[in-house]
Chain A
Amino acid sequence: AQTVTQSQPEMSVQEAETVTLSCTYDTSESDYYLFWYKQPPSRQMILVIRQEAYKQQNATENRFSVNFQKAAKSFSLKISDSQLGDAAMYFCAISGTYKYIFGTGTRLKVLA
Chain B
Amino acid sequence: KAGVTQTPRYLIKTRGQQVTLSCSPISGHRSVSWYQQTPGQGLQFLFEYFSETQRNKGNFPGRFSGRQFSNSRSEMNVSTLELGDSALYLCASSPLVSGSGGYTFGSGTRLTVV
Interface size on A, as a range, is: 20 to 34
Report the interface size for chain B: residues with CB under 8 A from the other chain.
Answer: 26
Choose the segment among A17-25, A72-80, A90-98 that binds chain B (4+ C-beta atoms closer than 8 Å).
Answer: A90-98
Residues in B neighbouring A35, C-beta threshold 8 A = 102
Q: Is the CB of A98 within 8 A of B56?
A: yes
Choose the segment among B13-21, B67-75, B78-86, B104-112 that binds chain A (4+ C-beta atoms closer than 8 Å).
Answer: B104-112
Complexed CA–CA distance, A63 and B43 (Å): 26
The reply on B92 being an interface residue by CB < 8 A is yes
Q: Is the CB of B102 within 8 A of A42?
A: no
B41 CB to closest chain A CB (Å) equals: 9
Q: Give the secondary structure class of B's interface.
A: strand
Residues in B neighbouring A100, C-beta threshold 8 A = 33, 35, 43, 45, 99, 103
Interchain CB contact (< 8 A) of A44 among B43, B101, B106, B110: B106
Q: Is the CB of B48 within 8 A of A98?
A: yes
A76-112 vs B: 1/0 string, CB under 8 Å?
0000000000000001000111111111110000000
A30-52 vs B: 1/0 string, CB under 8 Å?
00010101000011111100100
Given known A43-B107, A44-B108, contact A99–B48 (CB-CB < 8 A): yes
